[in-house]
């Protein structure tokens, strides 16, 4: 890597690519995140009901996703909005994993909850509002679970890498970076999707990078285009919100895809994945795509 990048990110030396460490592969169940396969994480913003979660899990699995997302602890903009089911939500996620075989990613908001969330989740999600909550990052690092670290909505790439470095410093090498959009003067989209950050992170860091087009766009009709851009920018995967009935979702319905929308988005990624030499070949997906035409 050119010296200038190393100088620029001097506070995060261990997250930068080197000849000894060209790429980190985060192993989750039988998945290798960052290992060349494109990994889709999909599911509702919040875990609401058993039916909602199971229906979504089965659908996204057929569509080619390998990880189920869903919040049991929700950082809401309003203190009066639904805050999540907590432990009951984690239990529903664990049942969905048993039934579907999907791995689970879910947010942990408080360091006190880390041991409980780590018992149920395969990946701990650190949300945008907590990217610089160092005591939470330390606790998440010590849990031994892989950490999905979302970029703070007002954080620079250097800030994101510093937080990743802190997790590595606490003995956990399994960090997945996530670009989810940042705040800018533009308010027509919920956040500004910083595709340049994806390209940069892929260029300078050995950590896997995934893109969250849902929280970036804020509007479901924009999500597939941002997902395709993420594939073109060499992201290792996606985190995308899917709900059986988005208009009735308890959170983030506006940006959630319904099942047909998810299928369409996934199908639209294929040519972009092919440019990278990638094909989603899970037999269930192939059969499902044939069935939906």
Q: Which residues bind ligand PEP (CB under 6 A)?
A: 45, 71, 75, 127-128, 150, 180, 215
| 7, 19, 97, 161 from 3: Cα distances, Å | 6, 14, 44, 17
Sign of CA dihedral 218, 277, 148, 98: positive
Q: In Å, how far are 85, 142, 181, 209, 235 from 23, measured between CA atoms?
A: 36, 22, 24, 11, 13
Q: To the nearest whole angstrom, how small is the minimum distance from the Cβ of residue 251 to Mn ion?
A: 6
What lies within 8 Å, CB to CB, of 243 at 6+ separation is 44, 45, 52, 56, 249, 253, 256, 257, 258
Give the shortest CB-255-to-Mn ion separation in angstroms. 7
- Residue closer to ligand PEP by CB (options 18, 135) is 135
Q: Which two tokens stand for residue 41?
A: 């994480």
Residue numbers at the binding site for Mn ion (CB under 5 A): 45, 252
Select from ligand PEP, Mn ion, none the partner in contact with residue 60, using the beta carbon and a kind-dependent cut-off of 5 to 8 Å: none
- CB 100 to ligand PEP: min, Å: 19
Quick one: 24 or 214, whose CB is closer to Mn ion?
Answer: 214
Nearer to ligand PEP, 24 or 128 (CB): 128
Half-sphere exposure of 265 (CA within 13 A, CB side): 32
Least distance CB 167 / Mn ion (angstroms)? 22
CB under 8 Å to 80, separation ≥6 — which residues?
none
Pick between residue 39 and residue 47 the one whose CB is nearest to Mn ion: 47
Among all residues, whose Cβ is closest to ligand PEP? 127
In whole angstroms, the minimum distance from the beta carbon of 286 to ligand PEP comes to 29
């Amino acid at each position: 890597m050119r010296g200038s990048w190393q100088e620029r990110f001097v506070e995060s030396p261990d997250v930068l690519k080197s000849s000894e460490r060209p790429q980190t592969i985060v192993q989750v169940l039988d998945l290798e995140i960052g290992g060349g396969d494109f990994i889709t994480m999909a599911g509702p913003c919040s875990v609401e009901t058993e039916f909602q979660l199971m229906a979504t899990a089965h659908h996204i699995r057929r569509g080619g996703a390998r990880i189920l997302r869903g919040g049991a602890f929700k950082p809401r903009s309003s203190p009066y909005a639904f805050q999540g089911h907590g432990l009951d939500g984690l239990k529903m996620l664990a049942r969905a994993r048993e039934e579907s075989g999907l791995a689970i990613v879910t947010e942990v908001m408080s360091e006190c909850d880390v041991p409980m969330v780590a018992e149920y989740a395969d990946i701990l999600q650190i949300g945008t509002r907590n990217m610089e909550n160092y005591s939470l990052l330390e606790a998440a690092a010590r849990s031994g679970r892989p950490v999905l670290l979302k970029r703070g909505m007002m954080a620079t790439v250097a800030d994101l890498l510093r937080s990743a470095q802190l997790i590595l410093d606490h003995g956990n090498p399994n960090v997945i970076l996530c670009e989810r959009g940042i705040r800018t003067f533009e308010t027509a989209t919920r956040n500004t999707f910083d595709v340049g950050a994806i390209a940069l992170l892929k260029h300078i860091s050995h950590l896997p990078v995934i893109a969250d087009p849902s929280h970036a766009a804020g509007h479901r009709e924009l999500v597939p285009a941002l997902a395709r851009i993420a594939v073109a920018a060499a992201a290792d995967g996606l985190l995308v919100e899917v709900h059986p009935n988005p208009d009735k979702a308890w959170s983030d319905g506006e940006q959630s895809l319904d099942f047909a929308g998810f299928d369409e988005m996934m199908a639209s990624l294929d040519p972009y994945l092919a440019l990278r030499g990638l094909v989603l070949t899970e037999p269930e997906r192939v059969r499902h795509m044939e069935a939906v035409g």
